[in-house]
A and B are shown apart, each in its own frame.
Chain A
Amino acid sequence: MRPILTLGLYLATAGFVSAAPLKINGSTTVNLPVAEAAEILRAENKLDIQVDTQGGSGGGISMLGDGLVQMGMSSKPVSEDDRKKYPQCDFHETRIGEDAVALIVSKDVWESGVHELNKAQIKDLYGGKVTNWRDLGGVKSQRIVFFNKEPGRGTWEVFVHWLYGSPKLAPQVNFPEVGGNEETRNKVGSTRGAISQLSASWADGKTVFALAVSGDDGQPVEPTPNHIATHKYPMSRPLFVLTNGAPVGDAKTTVDFLLSPRGQKLVEKHGYLPLKALAK
């Protein structure tokens, strides 16, 4: 009798769960820790979660607004326009971390006196208009070696979003590509005249050095946790999961997990600043 009951119960819950899977959609940047969290929740809490990245942050906001998904992922706050567009949805933002991108240079560039760059200089650099560090304030003549983050990396997205407004507006460039944070740091550290984009938490100040970056006001800002947390540093963005109203049910389980120490570890693992680092 008991096995049958258990089986019945199992089928009932399975039927119930599969009838209402938790659908999540949005930013590829936020997706990295969320997808991994979903995997853990699937295994441990038997949650039925589907994570997708159609249309990035914008897609996450619009699909949540339309009620097509129960949870959105976004690397930007929900704008007033979006809230007006979807009056039926009470967008509830839960910040799970922060993504900051530093421009890092090799030791010789740093010692040659290049400690900061402004937006125009970075545009010239990325567009291939300047090829020598002397033209960017370096004392020594040294060719610039730009290691570009490979496509699909959140780091690259943040960089071009800040510089050009959108990945589509970025110029076509051919630079040697680097992948993970470790690889980027090693290659920049071991190459003269090297520069690359790297998640700020990886700039160690020993082998690679993070440049101060000045935005439109011309004030150079270093990517310190404090500057990132207060958004004084321009190349950073908050990472959100969005729900319609305060999260409930499976969505709450997921959000709680992302905010728990284990979830925050996942945020950190993918090169983002966890909330703990932002509080400082």
Chain B
Amino acid sequence: MTRALSWILSLTALASLVLLVGVFTWQSSVIWQRDGIAYVTGHSWFYRQQQFGAFSLLYGSIVVSSMALLLAGPLGLGAALFIAEYLPQKTRLVLKSLIELLAGIPSVVYGLLGILLLRGWVYETFERFEPLSGDTLLTAGILLAIMLLPTVVSLSEDALRAVPASQRRAARALGLTRAETIWSVCLPQARRGITSAFLLALGRSLGETVAIFLVVGRQDNNVPHSWLSPAPLLQAGQTLTSKLGGAETNIAYGDPLHWSAIMGLGLILLILTGAATLLGTVRRERNA
């Protein structure tokens, strides 16, 4: 009975996933047929002229998410190490539940904080680089990093705690210091779990909409001229999600080509977040 039920439920889950991807593929078929791969690599998106190149959106999403992960990763891992390895049991539980509470704060609240504190801070701090306003890719990246921290900390800490205590005792018995134990025993063994934490955080960051929408500036077609200069990070940009969350989605509805271009963005987003989350989950399962 349980077995049959679990099969049915698993298949339902799989079917709904296939259905979801199917619907988005079907709805975006017009643009794929018209532009093919140029839809993803094209640099100009001007819907009034029926030009749909999604590259700048893809760029925005990836840049903002990578920045967020680059900032939240080391910081979150450090916090996780401290909580898992150094804190006494009682304090650890209190701190961890507090951090997990942070993960549950609605993203729009973070977005409002971003407007209140972060936008002005970025605008003033980087003044010498002449940002046009406080709405930049960097602002979105930092805000997203703050939002990712609880996820990174909590999942990395889980991974570290999953390393058996006997391993630590053995290492200490061999004469390793606490730091050495962490470095050569705990971290290597928790590696899978930690990368899975990062991947799940990446999945979350790619899909994040409201908070980014509020501080990213929503400037179309902003692709940097030079890939080496950090200056473009201080410009406004647009991500897949901020585009989809914007006014254009409502305008597109009813126009087959425009609508399919919008649904195409949805499909790309679905694939990106899906891949990151799936990869993260698989690694996590294997680790446990």
Contact = CB atoms under 8 A, between A and B. Distances in A.
Interface of A: 143, 145, 147, 150-153, 167-168, 172, 174-179, 187, 190-191, 193-194
B250 A152 contact: yes
Given A152-B247, A172-B46, A176-B236, A143 B132 contact: yes
Contact of A177 (B44, B123, B218): B218
Interface string B102-142: 00000000000000000110010000001011110000000
Contacts of B133: 145, 147, 176, 187, 191, 194
A155 B15 CA distance: 45
Interface centre among B46, B132, B135, B246 (most CB of A within 10 A): B132
Contact of B218 (A167, A168, A176, A194): A176
Leading 9 A-B pairs by shortest Cβ distance: A176-B217, A176-B236, A177-B218, A176-B219, A191-B133, A150-B247, A174-B221, A145-B132, A152-B251
Given A187-B135, A191-B132, 17 more contacts: A143-B130, A151-B48, A152-B250, A153-B247, A168-B48, A174-B220, A174-B221, A176-B133, A176-B135, A176-B218, A177-B217, A177-B218, A178-B218, A190-B134, A191-B133, A193-B132, A194-B133
Contact of B219 (A167, A174, A191, A194): A174
Contacts of B221: 174
Contacts of B247: 150-153, 179
Interface hub of B49, B120, B219, B251 (most chain A Cβ within 10 A) = B219
B118 to A, nearest CB: 13
B157 to A, nearest CB: 39
A143 B134 CA distance: 14
A177 B134 contact: no
A99 B174 CA distance: 80
A194 B123 CA distance: 13
Nearest to B133: A191
14 contacts: A143-B130, A147-B133, A150-B246, A151-B48, A151-B247, A152-B250, A174-B220, A176-B133, A176-B135, A176-B217, A176-B219, A177-B218, A177-B246, A193-B132
Contacts of B183: none
Nearest to A149: B247
Residue of A176, A177, A178, A191 with most partner-chain B CB within 10 A: A176
A176 B251 contact: no
A194 B217 CA distance: 13
Contacts of A167: 48
B117 to A, nearest CB: 13
Contact of B120 (A151, A168, A174, A190): A190
A190 B221 CA distance: 24
A205 to B, nearest CB: 22
A167 B49 CA distance: 11
B72 to A, nearest CB: 25
Contacts of A176: 132-133, 135, 217-219, 236
Contacts of B189: none
Interface string B217-228: 111111000000
A151 B219 contact: no
Contacts of B246: 150, 177, 179
B180 interface: no
A168 B219 CA distance: 20
Contacts of B120: 190
Interface string B18-57: 0000000000000000000000000010111100000000
Contacts of A152: 247-248, 250-251
A145 B221 CA distance: 16
Contacts of A177: 217-220, 246
